[in-house]
Structure 1
Amino acid sequence: MKRAVNDLAMFGGSPAFLRPLLVGRPNKIDRSRFLDRMNWALDNQWLSNGGPLVREFEERVADSAGVRNCVATCNATAALQLYARAAGLTGEIIMPSLTFIATAHAMRWLGLKPVFCDIDRETGCLDVSNVEAVLSEHTGAILGVHLWGRVCPAEDLEKLAADRGVPLFFDAAHAFGCTSFGRTVGGFGAVEVFSFHATKVVSAFEGGAVVTDDDELAKQVRALHNFGFGGHGNFAGGTNAKLSEAGAAMGLTSLDAFGETVAHNQENYELYRSELDGVPGVDLVEFDSHEHNNYQYAIIDIDDDVTGIDRNLVQELLLAEQVVAKPYFSPSCHEQTPYRAENPVSLPETEYLSRRVLAVPTGTQTNREDIRRVCGLIRLAAAEGRTISDRWRRQKCLDSEMSAKHGQPGH
């Protein structure tokens, strides 16, 4: 365990980890069970087009989400777009900026205009009063995002959307298995969209799903995800967004392990909380203990006014130690191309939070000793933040001077 600034890899010490420790490493599964399913699919010679494994996966996802319908897709981006097409959305889509860029890109790709709305600093999710302030005659829908598994104020958004006659749907990529006021994510709004990417708590290699209690809407989404095929040779328009049997085999095997994965994640989270408890200027983002959470993300909030070291430098420090932490999500969508130029907007709460948060490694591939070592590095960064920051700046200045010197003729 490192206890001195001189021990840090960024200043010449040996890295704390021999191999990179990553955020979002795929979780462990029963490989033999996965291969059994794959062999069964190969023996049946049904590998795509809504095979039995996909249908089983859809049934289990719908059951877990407490809804009647699930349409499995190739990814969550396509799932968002399928709903937008099925609902005939036009105009502006109100959404948070503190989300993965795919949330905005999915709408813009269809010719819709993302309108970024500020968040509640305490939750990282949409602030209902801010949503109400940006509603206009051009609003086509409200798109909420359950950030880091924290469910946004879904019931309040449902009331607002109903009062204003505006469609409401949710990007639930982070929130499979989570609840709000006892309601399971999946049944809020018109639809919710899950991600089953390789980095998620349930993985289908690369997959997603639209879940809903609206039977007619589910029927439309299902047709659109298969070229618009409605049976009897009737192609009404659509795309190819189907999940393969291989993806479903992985998804089912990942669902088998879901309870164990969540339990491991929660143990990791509790250890992070214990190891970082009382560290000035460093807080672990909390989850409501009265609700179910998948603990897929462990997020730390770094106050550089207290620690003397900002989030970006903490990220650099950890990277030098072979800990690949992620600034989820910074820069936020409204600060990135093309949105920065197309629709310049100031979102002070989003900008405040996005500059402070850092996702640290968790999941079933991360063990307790890994977490203790990561937390030791974070404690050292917080305790010696001003010294580290000053030394880093001096080192960067010296590097720049040396580069300029060696770039001159004759050297």
Structure 2
Amino acid sequence: MPAEPAVLGGTPAFAEPLHVGRPNIPDGPRAMELIQQAIDRRWLTAFGPLVKQFERDVAAAAGVKHCVAMCNASVALQVLIRAAGLRGEVILPSFTFIATAHTLLWEGVTPVFCDIDEETGNIDPEHARRLITDRTTGIMGVHLWGHPAPTKELDALAEEFGLRLFYDSAHAIGSARGGRAVGGFGHAEVFSFHATKFINSFEGGAVVTDDDALAERVRSMHNYGRGEGEIVSSIGTNAKMTEVAAAMGITSLENLDFLIEVNRERYERYAAGLAGAPGLTLRRPGPENDVNHQYIVAEVDETAAGISRDVLAAALTADNVLVRTHFDPGCHRTEPYVRDPGRHAPLPLPRTEALGARVLMLPTGTGVTLDEVDRVCALTARLVAAGDAVTAAVRRTP
């Protein structure tokens, strides 16, 4: 560790950047073996054997009957929204990645932003209840950072008002609530297998569900409205996953337990290493939840730490620790929704904005060693201890 942090004139603590979401490649040779099989078969897309295997593997991991693999999670959400016949308004948390809202608006559905439970970061069912109108047709929950949403409460709310209930589960494969795997909640869920997710298929997504009729419509719509045959039965698009993507997805899923263990080890190392830093706490799983620890999220209490989240993030970045501040601002403060708050959000959303101003995502996964985690913790503690000087230096930086 250098004598001074980079922001105070020292050499960056890390010669190479540490990333949040650096791709996990648990078994490169295995992935290449499967890709070569696809090349040898000359079957690269359109429901090849690797895509079918990947769908079976994802369904098994999620504990559901159906999985429809797609080219990415945003398109999977769009196809699900269209297949489910959502219209009017859908309630969702503002504290989520912008794609959750954009996919609804893209399909002609109005996103209505809900506040969160600040303790969990997930949607607040009681606030959601107050947003239901005669235009509401659904609720889109989000399992934030892999921490399952309040599924029981949302189930009850959806049943009471006759609403469709779906989940953006981009972060959450491998997590569970009350011993039940994420994937089987609501009417359907959508996983992401983007390169930054701990289980990745280079780029990909999937709709998972136990609803036979909904699965059939999703499968048809993601292939031009014709399922796997030639007869067109509905409007559709081309959202199919390729065999190359499925090869990486299969390899990732074969190493699911190993990758969760890697994440858990790093989470525990951060928890120990930051325990003495004033004003810094890690987000912890709720008592009902098992989580994949895909994201390690710290909160910065500026008063207790003597340094703001934004200043700390800038200082860590100067040392090549490329932390992230997801999701700040919330969707309701983002274009195009900020221009029409009366349509999209019952402002203010105080808990969304308060949590968004505090969180800091730390590097984890196979791209970060335990020794590097220790060094990040030591660096972070040093920056907090020198809070006044670090703040002044960051403010002087053009």
Alignment TM class, shorter chain as reference = over 0.9
Do the aligned residues in 1 keep the contact of 2:2 with 2:10 (CA within 8 Å)?
Answer: no
Between the aligned partners of 1:162 and 1:309, the Cα distance in structure 2 is 45
Counterpart of 2:385?
A: 383
3-state secondary structure, aligned to 1:283: strand
Between the aligned partners of 1:136 and 1:87, the Cα distance in structure 2 is 19
Counterpart of 1:312?
A: 310
Do the aligned residues in 2 keep the contact of 1:38 with 1:246 (CA within 8 Å)?
Answer: yes
Counterpart of 1:351?
A: 353
Between the aligned partners of 2:287 and 2:191, the Cα distance in structure 1 is 23
Q: Give the 5 Å matches for 1:320-331.
A: 320-331=318-329
Gaps of 5+ in 1: 400-411
Between the aligned partners of 2:288 and 2:276, the Cα distance in structure 1 is 23
Do the aligned residues in 1 keep the contact of 2:147 with 2:289 (CA within 8 Å)?
Answer: no
Counterpart of 1:165?
A: 162
Between the aligned partners of 2:131 and 2:234, the Cα distance in structure 1 is 35
1:256 aligns with 2:258: no
Counterpart of 1:133?
A: 130
How many Å apart are 1:28 and its aligned residue? Answer: 2.4
Gaps of 5+ in 2: none
Identity %: 47
Counterpart of 1:409?
A: none
Q: Which amino acid aligns with 1:179?
A: A
Between the aligned partners of 1:28 and 1:205, the Cα distance in structure 2 is 10
Q: Which amino acid aligns with 1:392?
A: V
Between the aligned partners of 2:265 and 2:244, the Cα distance in structure 1 is 31
Alpha-carbon RMSD across the aligned residues, in angstroms, is: 1.3
Q: Which amino acid aligns with 2:360?
A: L
3-state secondary structure, aligned to 2:281: strand
Q: Which amino acid aligns with 1:335?
A: R
Q: Which amino acid aligns with 2:290?
A: H
How many Å apart are 1:306 and its aligned residue? Answer: 1.2
C-alpha distance after superposition, 1:325-374 (max 9, x if no partner): 00011111111111111225310000000000010100011001111111
Between the aligned partners of 1:44 and 1:289, the Cα distance in structure 2 is 48
C-alpha distance after superposition, 1:153-198 (max 9, x if no partner): 0111001100110111000011101111111101100000000000
Do the aligned residues in 2 keep the contact of 1:308 with 1:389 (CA within 8 Å)?
Answer: no
How many Å apart are 1:381 and its aligned residue? Answer: 2.2
Do the aligned residues in 2 keep the contact of 1:119 with 1:125 (CA within 8 Å)?
Answer: yes
C-alpha distance after superposition, 1:276-297 (max 9, x if no partner): 1132100011124664321101
Q: Which amino acid aligns with 1:240?
A: N
How many Å apart are 1:17 and its aligned residue? Answer: 0.5
Do the aligned residues in 2 keep the contact of 1:76 with 1:208 (CA within 8 Å)?
Answer: yes
C-alpha distance after superposition, 1:123-152 (max 9, x if no partner): 000011000011111112100000011111
Between the aligned partners of 2:61 and 2:24, the Cα distance in structure 1 is 19
Correspondence for 1:188 among 180, 185, 190 = 185
1:50 aligns with 2:43: no
Between the aligned partners of 2:394 and 2:30, the Cα distance in structure 1 is 49
Between the aligned partners of 1:66 and 1:390, the Cα distance in structure 2 is 52
Do the aligned residues in 1 keep the contact of 2:83 with 2:221 (CA within 8 Å)?
Answer: yes
Higher-Rg structure is 1
The list of structure 1 runs, each at least 4 consecutive aligned residues, that deviate by more than 6 angstroms after superposition, is none
Do the aligned residues in 1 keep the contact of 2:224 with 2:232 (CA within 8 Å)?
Answer: no
C-alpha distance after superposition, 1:253-293 (max 9, x if no partner): 11111111111110000000000113210001112466432
C-alpha distance after superposition, 1:55-109 (max 9, x if no partner): 0000010011000000001111111111111111101110001111111111111
Q: Give the 5 Å matches for 1:2-401.
A: 2=2, 7-230=4-227, 231-288=229-286, 291-343=289-341, 345-393=347-395, 395-396=396-397
Between the aligned partners of 2:252 and 2:374, the Cα distance in structure 1 is 27
How many Å apart are 1:34 and its aligned residue? Answer: 0.9
3-state secondary structure, aligned to 2:216: helix
How many Å apart are 1:235 and its aligned residue? Answer: 4.7
Quickly say closer, same or farther: Cα 1:282–1:2, change in 2 above 3 A.
Answer: farther
Do the aligned residues in 1 keep the contact of 2:148 with 2:289 (CA within 8 Å)?
Answer: no
305-314 or 63-72, which moves further after superposition? 305-314
TM-score scaled by length of structure 1: 0.93
Do the aligned residues in 2 keep the contact of 1:2 with 1:377 (CA within 8 Å)?
Answer: no
Between the aligned partners of 1:309 and 1:232, the Cα distance in structure 2 is 62
How many Å apart are 1:29 and its aligned residue? Answer: 2.1
Between the aligned partners of 1:64 and 1:386, the Cα distance in structure 2 is 48
Q: Which amino acid aligns with 1:284?
A: L
How many Å apart are 1:2 and its aligned residue? Answer: 4.9
Q: Which amino acid aligns with 2:348?
A: S
Do the aligned residues in 2 keep the contact of 1:307 with 1:386 (CA within 8 Å)?
Answer: no
Between the aligned partners of 1:265 and 1:232, the Cα distance in structure 2 is 44
How many Å apart are 1:236 and its aligned residue? Answer: 2.0
